Amino acid sequence: MSKYSGFDEDDFYDEDEDRDQDEVLSPEDHKQMEDAVTQVKNILRGTTATDAQIRDAVWNYYFDVDQSVKFLRDQLKRQENKRTNAAKKTAGSKAFRERALFADTITCRRRTGHYFNDEDLRLSKRLSSSSKPQPKIPLGSSCLYGISVFDGIPWGLPTSMNTDITYCGRPTRMGLLGGSSKLAALAKARAVKRQQQHEQNEPMEGIEPASPSTPSTASQPGSSLLLNTSVLPSRSDSGVSISKRLTSLLAERSRDRERTSSRAISPEKQSYLRRTGSYSPSISSYSPINSDLSSASGVFSENMPSSFATSLCDYSLPPPTFSSPASPSSFPGVSNVDVYGKTNNGMSADEIWKLITNKPFFYLPVTERQVEEIKSNFDKPSPDDIIKEAQATKGGTIGAGGSKKAQPQQKGSSRAELETEMKSLSIQELAMKASQPKQKINVVEKFISSRRKAHVNFVVVGHVDAGKSTLMGRMLYDVGAIDERTIQKYKRDANNMGKGSFAFAWVLDQSKEERERGVTMDVAMNSFESSKVAFTILDAPGHKDFVPNMIAGASEGDFAVLVIDSSPNAFEAGFVQSGQTKEHALLVRSLGVQRIIVAVNKLDNVNWSEYRFDEVKETLLAFLSAAGFSESQTTFIPCSGLCGDNIVNSSVRPELSWYTGHTLLEELENLTTVDRDIGAPLRMSITDVFKGNASSAINVTGRINAGNVQVGETVLAIPSNETATIKSIAIADQANDWAVAGDNVQVALSNIDIVHLRAGDILCAISSPVKCAKTFSARVIVFQLRIPLIKGSNVLIYRGRTTEAARILRLSALIDKGTGKITKHKPRHLVSGQSAIVELEVMGSSFPMETFKASKDLGRIVLRQEGITVAAGVVEEILSVKNEATNE
Ligand SMILES: Nc1nc2c(ncn2[C@@H]2O[C@H](COP(=O)(O)OP(=O)(O)OP(=O)(O)O)[C@@H](O)[C@H]2O)c(=O)[nH]1
């Protein structure tokens, strides 16, 4: 391996590199080196390899003669190739430049033999040191720079164009519009290189680079530099003679161009050249439209964007006036503009345009008549306006999905009138006008006369894998809410998945992910009816990651079923600080649940042990009473969801004969029914929002917390503050004309856009809107904390499905848990187990809430920090709202 590995061999001969080989070589190595150098020299005799190159190669290849020779031969070959290519390139570009220069002034006559005329040949001789004439340049050849527009056209020049072609200057090259980024990069690199070369040429005294504003000579091939005779030094050296030559050459070319321009151009050719952008019309045909063509013809100097492009991109341009467009000829002192855009006062058309308009612009190719026509189209009302007007006349109907905040303006009504009307409108009046259904039902009367079964929601909580879903699945199966076939199917499918024991849990865990993971992730809802009561099960997730979902479920529960895994160590695992048994029990209590049934589950795992049951009962009873559940409101039932003991039917198992109490279902039926004010203003917490398949209505599901609702009624959505009309109501999939507090409903809403509704929002009576709190005070119980809560602590507040960021504004007081009396004002911090009054500020935009006194459902909150529940409590007072008028 050579020392060059990993290096570019082009860097091999670095003149500056200091390699003092003699200093590091031993006498023996030195001799070896000299021998090798001599051998390589002999082999490469006659080549251009220098002594230094040979020594370097030998040194770097560790005196290996063959390797060094091979390397050096390769290098020499590469250098030779480089030189040849560079020479070819130089020769090529020189020839190209010369031909381009000739082409600049050539008139090609295809029909008459494609020869240069005498004048061209004379000029070419003078320009080129070679006296050899250039006899033929075929039309369409790429060497003809000026007409290279025909390059690549397989059918050549159109027959109609087989007449005289006049080159009118080099076309301006514009940047790539999209396309290859590699090409763009290459073009950019070349431009930079050209710029560098240009800058290197700049210091030449007496010669300055052509500027964009200089006359058209700047854009001619071969004339990238322009003489400035005023700064030319009066030296009689060779530099001056070159300058003189260039001056006379340019003067001659200028005369030449004038001659060419005076020749007649056929209309056919004019049209073609317009299309190709190489035609500049004379002043006689100068118009706003073809002024742009003149800029494209090369009159505008290189690197300038066309006026069309400028008009498109430059928003600062003043709009052009259509009535009397200015033109270069109208500029004082200008009477003529030639085909090169040069005017008789020595300025280019471009310069004059700039003076006239400050910036070049592009006129749209429309006549004044067309403009008038376009303008008159807007005098009439649009089809939309006609429809709106018709709707307004009919009675102010607004299309579905439209915002009801902005009523369409009646034609003829003044702004002042409208403002007065708006001021006089109040939500109460709106309520009077809009919330009345066509045929008003007395819902309270209807409810009483209907003798409907009491409707109870109960939430099932407990540590992960305590058996909550299995227990509820079993209950639904035993009461006949699930048929045998479905259960058999679940058993088969669960067996196939290797989760046979989860068959009953699948009744509630419906999602694929929940079934695959064997974990409940969101609250599952299911209903069944006993002979006395209609129940809705809210099966909450037990995993700590889904506590917010558990809170949502618990917020809707009237009672709670706490499921305990009585298996050895399992109860203890759920009861430790990080377990969810305690957290869930505290949360349901904080959210207003007073009645709790503890299902001591999986008793089959402890051989139906009474001792284990008592152990669990004792431990929990102490904890629950400390958490606020009275003993009379707490019941313990030994059961097994998997085996079905004591769920719906009493166990007949001899091992369980020690228990003679109620089954779980009996216990649920015995619960005291909750009193609800069905005559109060409507409050409905939305749990889900979705669009119906067929109808345009928006469906929302949720629970009616207070009051009642009926089909045709107009309600208010908070926090969006948008009204909606109740299109239909369904209770347990049965259509109904009305619903009351406690019902879990699916409601179809019309006249509202789905963007104004989301889970956690409240539907309420227009006459009594729910407020969105900005600051409020709450009585809270502090849970287990890692760090104390202080003034300024950031928390997340939860209520049902609503969550918002909040900040503790003030720790107002510590209170006694038993008596509720203040024990200390303004504590510095709050620690685990304390009760306190705190003031909170809602950071987010909207958190609809009510005081606990006004609504037990909407007045409860849970505070969490970094995924841990830190406190829960009730809203005492709403101190300020987001916006009194709009709740925004
Ligand atoms: N031996 C026995 N196993 C049970 C009993 N009840 C449930 N299981 C098993 O416990 C495991 C968990 O049951 P799930 O019903 O999913 O528990 P869960 O509390 O709903 O779980 P999460 O909702 O995810 O917290 C399953 O393997 C059930 O078969 C029972 O009474 N006895």
Q: What angle do CA 402, 405, 411 make, to 5 degrees?
A: 85
What distance in Å separates the CA atoms of residue 163 and residue 160, rounded to the nearest whole number? 7
Tell me how far the alpha carbon of residue 640 lies from the centroid of ligand 1, in angstroms: 10
Query: Cα dist. 691→245, 398, 746, 875 in Å?
Result: 84, 20, 12, 33
Tell me how far the alpha carbon of residue 499 lies from the centroid of ligand 1, in angstroms: 11
Tell me how far the alpha carbon of residue 549 lies from the centroid of ligand 1, in angstroms: 19
Please answer whether residues 555 and 860 qualify as being in contact, where contact means their C-beta atoms are separated by less than 8 angstroms. yes
Q: Kindly state if the Cβ of 298 falls inside 6 Å of ligand 1.
A: no
Mutation probe of ligand 1 site: the residue of 460, 461, 465 with most atoms within 8 A of C-beta: 465
Q: Kindly state if the Cβ of 502 falls inside 6 Å of ligand 1.
A: yes
Q: Which two tokens stand for residue 687?
A: 């749990």
Tell me how far the alpha carbon of residue 667 lies from the centroid of ligand 1, in angstroms: 21
Q: Kindly state if the Cβ of 541 falls inside 6 Å of ligand 1.
A: yes
Q: Which two tokens stand for residue 667?
A: 């216990």
Beta-carbon contacts of 197 under 8 Å, excluding residues fewer than 6 positions away, are: none
Rounded to 5 degrees, what are φ and ψ at 661?
-80, -165
Residue nearest to ligand 1 atom 24, measured at CA: 519
Query: What ipTM score was computed for the predicted complex, to two decimals?
Result: 0.98
Beta-carbon contacts of 803 under 8 Å, excluding residues fewer than 6 positions away, are: 548, 760, 796, 797
Tell me how far the alpha carbon of residue 519 lies from the centroid of ligand 1, in angstroms: 9
What distance in Å separates the CA atoms of residue 690 and residue 537, rounded to the nearest whole number? 22
What distance in Å separates the CA atoms of residue 154 and residue 151, rounded to the nearest whole number? 8
Q: Kindly state if the Cβ of 579 falls inside 6 Å of ligand 1.
A: no
Please answer whether residues 608 and 656 qualify as being in contact, where contact means their C-beta atoms are separated by less than 8 angstroms. yes
Tell me how far the alpha carbon of residue 61 lies from the centroid of ligand 1, in angstroms: 76
DSSP for 416-450? HHHHHHHHH--HHHHHHHHS--SS---HHHHHHHH
Tell me how far the alpha carbon of residue 815 lies from the centroid of ligand 1, in angstroms: 40
Atom from ligand 1 closest to the CA of residue 499: 27
Beta-carbon contacts of 697 under 8 Å, excluding residues fewer than 6 positions away, are: 727, 728, 748, 749, 750
Please answer whether residues 197 and 369 qualify as being in contact, where contact means their C-beta atoms are separated by less than 8 angstroms. no
What distance in Å separates the CA atoms of residue 676 and residue 330, rounded to the nearest whole number? 88
Residue nearest to ligand 1 atom 14, measured at CA: 467
What's the sign of the alpha-carbon dihedral 285, 291, 293, 297?
Answer: positive
What distance in Å separates the CA atoms of residue 39 and residue 45, rounded to the nearest whole number? 10
Q: Kindly state if the Cβ of 646 falls inside 6 Å of ligand 1.
A: no
Residue nearest to ligand 1 atom 21, measured at CA: 465
Output the pLDDT for position 717. Answer: 93
Beta-carbon contacts of 795 under 8 Å, excluding residues fewer than 6 positions away, are: 789, 805, 806, 807, 808, 840, 863, 864, 865, 870, 871
CB atoms within 10 A of CB 657: 11
Q: Kindly state if the Cβ of 290 falls inside 6 Å of ligand 1.
A: no
Tell me how far the alpha carbon of residue 466 lies from the centroid of ligand 1, in angstroms: 5
DSSP for 747-788? EEEESS-GGG--TT-EEEETTSPPEEEEEEEEEEEE---SS-
Atom from ligand 1 closest to the CA of residue 640: 31
Tell me how far the alpha carbon of residue 784 lies from the centroid of ligand 1, in angstroms: 27
Tell me how far the alpha carbon of residue 776 lies from the centroid of ligand 1, in angstroms: 41
What distance in Å separates the CA atoms of residue 270 and residue 264, rounded to the nearest whole number? 10
Residue of 468, 469, 491, 487 lying closest to 477 (CA atoms): 487
Output the pLDDT for position 714. Answer: 92
Q: Report DSSP state, residue 684.
A: E
Q: Kindly state if the Cβ of 443 falls inside 6 Å of ligand 1.
A: no
Chain centroid offset of residue 591 CA: 38
Query: Cα dist. 463→292, 409, 564, 577, 601 in Å?
Result: 79, 59, 7, 12, 12
CB atoms within 10 A of CB 219: 23
What distance in Å separates the CA atoms of residue 772 and residue 882, rounded to the nearest whole number? 6
299-316 exposure pattern, b = at least 16 Cβ within 10 A, e = fewer: bbbeebbbbbbbbeeeee
Mutation probe of ligand 1 site: the residue of 461, 470, 642 with most atoms within 8 A of C-beta: 470
What distance in Å separates the CA atoms of residue 68 and residue 59, rounded to the nearest whole number? 9
Beta-carbon contacts of 402 under 8 Å, excluding residues fewer than 6 positions away, are: 751, 753
Preceding amide of 332 cis, omega within 30: no
What distance in Å separates the CA atoms of residue 290 and residue 307, rounded to the nearest whole number? 12
Mutation probe of ligand 1 site: the residue of 642, 653, 664 with most atoms within 8 A of C-beta: 642
Atom from ligand 1 closest to the CA of residue 543: 25
Q: Which two tokens stand for residue 745?
A: 């409903």
Q: Report DSSP state, residue 217.
A: G
CB atoms within 10 A of CB 261: 16
Tell me how far the alpha carbon of residue 641 lies from the centroid of ligand 1, in angstroms: 8
Q: How many Å from the N-terminal Cα to the C-terminal Cα in the chain?
A: 76
Strand partners, 208: 226
What distance in Å separates the CA atoms of residue 216 and residue 475, rounded to the nearest whole number? 95
Judging by beta carbons within 10 Å of its beta carbon (0-12, 13-18, 19+), is residue 32 exposed, middle or buried? Answer: middle
Output the pLDDT for position 296. Answer: 37
* H helix runs in 314-378, sequence order: 349-357, 368-377
Half-sphere exposure of 365 (CA within 13 A, CB side): 6
Output the pLDDT for position 182. Answer: 60
Tell me how far the alpha carbon of residue 743 lies from the centroid of ligand 1, in angstroms: 29
Q: Kindly state if the Cβ of 549 falls inside 6 Å of ligand 1.
A: no
Atom from ligand 1 closest to the CA of residue 472: 15
Q: Report DSSP state, residue 545.
A: G
794-826 exposure pattern, b = at least 16 Cβ within 10 A, e = fewer: ebbbbbbbbbbebebbebbbbbeeeeeeeeeee
Residue nearest to ligand 1 atom 6, measured at CA: 467
Tell me how far the alpha carbon of residue 526 lies from the centroid of ligand 1, in angstroms: 18
What distance in Å separates the CA atoms of residue 363 and residue 319, rounded to the nearest whole number? 9
Per-residue pLDDT tens for 592-625? 788 899 999 999 999 999 999 999 999 999 999 8
Q: Please identify which residue in the block is written with the tokens 């990069």.
A: 185
What distance in Å separates the CA atoms of residue 638 and residue 564, rounded to the nearest whole number? 10
DSSP for 597-611? EEEEE-GGGGTT-HH
Q: Which two tokens stand for residue 282?
A: 């004379």
Please answer whether residues 816 and 824 qualify as being in contact, where contact means their C-beta atoms are separated by less than 8 angstroms. no
Q: Kindly state if the Cβ of 515 falls inside 6 Å of ligand 1.
A: no
- Report how many helices (DSSP H) and strands (DSSP E) the chain contains, helices first: 24, 29
CB atoms within 10 A of CB 221: 18
Q: Report DSSP state, residue 360.
A: -
Give strand ranges (E) for 439-532. Answer: 454-461, 524-529
Judging by beta carbons within 10 Å of its beta carbon (0-12, 13-18, 19+), is residue 877 exposed, middle or buried? Answer: middle
Output the pLDDT for position 811. Answer: 94
Q: Could you tell me the pTM of the whole model?
A: 0.50
Atom from ligand 1 closest to the CA of residue 518: 16
What's the sign of the alpha-carbon dihedral 181, 183, 184, 185?
Answer: positive
Residue nearest to ligand 1 atom 9, measured at CA: 467
Atom from ligand 1 closest to the CA of residue 601: 31
Q: Kindly state if the Cβ of 581 falls inside 6 Å of ligand 1.
A: no
Kindly compute the dihedral angle of the four CA atoms of residues 75, 80, 82, 83, in this order, to the nearest 10 degrees: 140
Output the pLDDT for position 526. Answer: 87
User: Which residue ranges of the chain lie beneath pLDDT 70?
Assistant: 1-25, 91-184, 198-381, 383, 386-439, 451, 577, 672-674, 693-695, 817-818, 845, 883-888
Q: Kindly state if the Cβ of 280 falls inside 6 Å of ligand 1.
A: no
**pLDDT > 90: what percent of the chain?**
19
Residue type present at position 317: L
Residue of 145, 164, 152, 149 lying closest to 99 (CA atoms): 145
Please answer whether residues 649 and 676 qualify as being in contact, where contact means their C-beta atoms are separated by less than 8 angstroms. no
Q: Which long-range contacts (CB under 8 A, 24 or more apart) does 239-245 make?
A: 239/206, 243/206, 243/207
Q: Kindly state if the Cβ of 520 falls inside 6 Å of ligand 1.
A: yes
Tell me how far the alpha carbon of residue 629 lies from the centroid of ligand 1, in angstroms: 26
Q: Kindly state if the Cβ of 553 falls inside 6 Å of ligand 1.
A: no
